[in-house]
Structure 1
């Protein structure tokens, strides 16, 4: 199963994942574009297709678990785990700290892949990596639907993205959308700080 970058971009456009407007990102920065992968994952056939593609770099690595950050990485991790034939686990914040809850556990030496929907700064994935490492599990790599940083990786582990996009972001005091009198930015993500 191969899908090139243009096919993934076409799918994101078909599902209206890439949105235009004035957005306040989790980082505090502003942007005129936002990726809402929940619009993609609401279609089970697309979620399954994405999960299989996220799993490809890890096919023969004996993965024990796929871990994703709540909320964006839950479905992606589940579908990648289904494709790999292993457990799906998600980490979530409790008292501001990413942790495993709901009875989820990782054991010493388990082989783990971390999956996310969109990587912008890599902050959520780095928090999940700390959880995985603190439980003694071995990180095999990271995969995401979109690398929003453009090219490159903010991680020390192998990183695979189905699509890389460079989406401009701005500090609030230099935001051209604010300067042009746009409506105040909206915060569409799942994390409310």
Structure 2
């Protein structure tokens, strides 16, 4: 899939939103990708996962033993990536603000992990999830994501393979353009803080 085909999938799912959005990083944007909407359709989710797998070099794919993704955003695409790669998939949760494996999920010492996210903006959540995977004994060999919103700036400490890179302008809350400041800000993501 090329970038236009990928964005067509987002538009078809009404997942490319316009307005005034508060991102999980606290920054603001006039555009928001609601990946949950694009993943509502299982066939579409599978197509996007297969396209994302093709972005990962063959030698890296050959090493992947398991997929781990953070809940909520990465859960569906992580599961579909596991299916596309033919490996199991599990997820991290943050019941008390810190990522951890629960529900009987466990990694073996040195297990080769592909970390999968829906959207990467600053990379903070990804780095926290990678640290939790390492603490649980896994070795994160790469990260894949549907969307890189970081303009290539996110330093995850591992090779990063996004399906598409989108560089919508992002603003500090106290430095908004007037047209954005005039709109009510909403927080459409899964995290409240």
TM-score by length of 1: 0.92
Q: Which aligned pairs between 1:85-100 and structure 2 lie closer than 5 A?
A: 85-100=86-101
Q: CA deviation at 1:78?
A: 0.2
Q: Tell me the residue number matched to 1:19.
A: 17
Q: Which aligned pairs between 1:131-170 and structure 2 lie closer than 5 A?
A: 131-170=132-171
Mark the runs of 5 or more structure 1 residues left unpaired by the alignment.
none
Q: Tell me the residue number matched to 1:4.
A: 2
Q: Distance in 1 between matches of 2:179 and 2:171?
A: 10
Greater mean deviation of Cα atoms: 122-131 or 57-66? 57-66
RMSD of aligned alpha carbons = 1.6
Q: Tell me the residue number matched to 1:172.
A: 173
Residues 1:4 and 1:99: Cα distance change in structure 2 (over 3 Å):
same
Q: Which aligned pairs between 1:1-193 and structure 2 lie closer than 5 A?
A: 3-56=1-54, 57=56, 60-177=61-178, 180-183=181-184, 185-193=185-193
Runs of 4+ in 1 over 6 A off after TM superposition: none
How many residues are treated as equivalent by the alignment?
190
Q: Distance in 2 between matches of 1:83 and 1:109?
A: 22
Q: Distance in 2 between matches of 1:5 and 1:29?
A: 25
TM-score by length of 2: 0.92
1:19-58: CA deviation from partner (whole Å, max 9, x where unpaired): 0011111111111111101111000111111122222326
